[in-house]
Amino acid sequence: MGDKRSPTRPKRQPKPSSDEGFWDCSVCTYKNTAEAFKCMMCDVRKGTSTRGAYTSILLPR
């Protein structure tokens, strides 16, 4: 039998993002420049999570 190989496709290059150089505030969703260490609208620090702290519940035995 012959060697059946699927034709190779060129690898897709990631699309250059038009948002490159920006980050979205996790609180107010404002698009800030990459250099900003806090949101220009609501003053929340870059990378601040809006999720509450995880607490484990200990059940009595």
Digit-coded pLDDT (tens) for 1-53: 665 666 676 665 544 446 689 999 999 999 999 999 999 999 999 987 766 65
Domain limits for position 43: 19-47
Q: What is the DSSP string of 22-39?
A: EEE-TTT--EEETT-SB-
50-58: average pLDDT: 64
What pLDDT is attached to residue 47? 84
User: Domain total for the chain?
Assistant: 1
Residue 60 lies in a domain: no
What pLDDT is attached to residue 48? 79
pTM, two decimal places:
0.49
Handedness of CA 55, 28, 43, 23 (dihedral sign): positive
Helix (H) or strand (E) holding 33: strand 31-33
DSSP-derived 3-state class of residue 38: strand
Residue 61 lies in a domain: no
